Amino acid sequence: MASKILIIGACGQIGTELTLALRDKVGKDNVIASDIREGNEELMSSGPFEIADATNYNQIGDLVIQYEIDEVYLMAAMLSATAEKLPMKAWDLNMGSLFHVLNLAKEGKIRKVFWPSSIAVFGPTTPKHDTPQTTVMEPTTVYGISKQAGERWCEYYHNKFGVDVRSIRYPGLISYKTLPGGGTTDYAVEIYHEALKTGKYTSFLKEDTELPMMFMDDAIRATISLMEAPSEKVKVRSSYNLSALNFTPATLANAIQKHIPEFEISYAPDFRQAIADSWPSSIDDSEARTDWGWRHEFDLEKMTSEMLEGIKEVYHV
């Protein structure tokens, strides 16, 4: 019998596509989507949906019992830029929801957990290029601190209580089905929308700010393949480095200009520049590649074609 899956935060940027991909794979009734608000039409019409607050243990626990859930993907979180403005709320959401799910697993109510971490776990004292899996981690953002603490708790619950928790340090994720919200890497999504709508974009990061990035299809494939890997192959129980592309706003603008030659970019860095400056510019993900066979498929050119086509289709621009 197929596993019953609960996705918490199913209406967000990752949650939407993860829900759709898992429903395709294991059948729509085996994937219960939940969020504090309804999602887009495609998500809502694709299978069961429940309103639930990730910070409410009883609401999440009730869904787990009601639907006889085996696996939880906890995608609800406050991202880096918003978390700087609402530090306590970010901590409560990012940590509270994780404890609820880890405790449900510890109590034997669920079998497997996926929890997303981020390149934000790294900080200014981390080696910036080809950042290794194991290295100095002194995050300077509220979001990064919550993700780093979360990683430690995941590993602790695995070692102490045998919880089967798996995690990826996502780079900036680029997609067209659902917009990201409140992140530092969001410019790399906004730029495509503005290129099609107005032919110009003002970047909130400087032209030479290089960050690790990935197209959503690759991120979803990585997530599902990590969750499907035999337990003994998942050697890292904090969170895996994962890498595909690294680029700057200027390089991305260039790739867009190959499709839209008149596209213009300008720069007006804001508070998000300091966040980006504290993060790595490239990531060494050799452990993910060795342990569970990760390979990325999308380069900058392929991603740019998909993004422009996808946005035209979804938003009719």
Which one, 55 or 185, has the nearer CB to ligand SER?
185
Residues 82-111 binding ligand SER (CB under 6 A) are none
Tokens (6 digits) for 122: 């790294």
Where do runs of H (alpha helix) occur along the chain?
13-26, 41-44, 57-66, 80-85, 87-106, 142-161, 187-197, 216-228, 249-257, 272-277, 286-292, 300-315
Among 85, 151, 140, 181, CA closest to 275: 140
Residue 69 near residue 63, CB atoms below 8 Å: yes
Interacting residues with ligand SER between 50 and 89 (CB under 6 A) = 79-80
- If the CB atoms of residues 79 and 98 are measured against ligand SER, the closer one turns out to be 79
Q: Which residues have CB under 8 Å from 274's CB, separation 6+?
A: none
Amino acid at 255: A
Smaller CB distance to ligand SER: residue 32 or 119?
119
Mask: binding to ligand SER, 138-167, rule CB under 6 A, as x and -?
-----x------------------------
Residue 208: how many CB atoms within 10 A of its CB? 11
Q: What is the largest CA-CA distance in the chain?
A: 58
Token pair for 173: 């994720």
Cross-sheet strand order for the sheet of 240-241: 49-51, 31-35, 5-8, 71-74, 112-118, 164-170, 240-241
Question: Per CB under 6 A, which region of 1-9, 49-57, 182-190, 261-269 contacts ligand SER?
Answer: 182-190
Binding of ligand SER by 126 (CB under 6 A): no
Q: Which one among 43, 90, 113, 120 touches ligand SER, defined by CB under 6 A?
A: 120
CB 153 within 8 A of CB 97: no
State whether residue 1 is helix, strand or coil: coil
Catalytic status, residue 67 = no
Least Cβ distance, residue 272 to ligand SER (angstroms):
8
Using CB under 6 A as the binding rule, whether residue 12 contacts ligand SER is answered as: no
The smaller minimum CB distance to ligand SER, of residues 13 and 30, is found at 13
* The binder of ligand SER chosen from 170, 215, 263, 294 (CB under 6 A): 170
Asked if residue 114 binds ligand SER (CB under 6 A), the reply is no
Which segments of 90-220 are extended strands (E)?
Answer: 112-118, 164-170, 172-174, 200-203, 211-215
123 binding ligand SER? (CB under 6 A): no
Considering beta carbons, is residue 30 or 118 the nearer one to ligand SER?
A: 118
Question: Which of these ranges, 178-186, 216-224, 242-250, 294-302, lies near ligand SER under the rule CB under 6 A?
Answer: 178-186
Shortest distance (Å) from residue 79 CB to ligand SER? 4
- Which is catalytic among the residues 143, 157, 192, 240? 143
Catalytic residues: 143
Contact positions vs ligand SER (CB under 6 A): 79-80, 118, 120, 143, 170, 172, 183-185
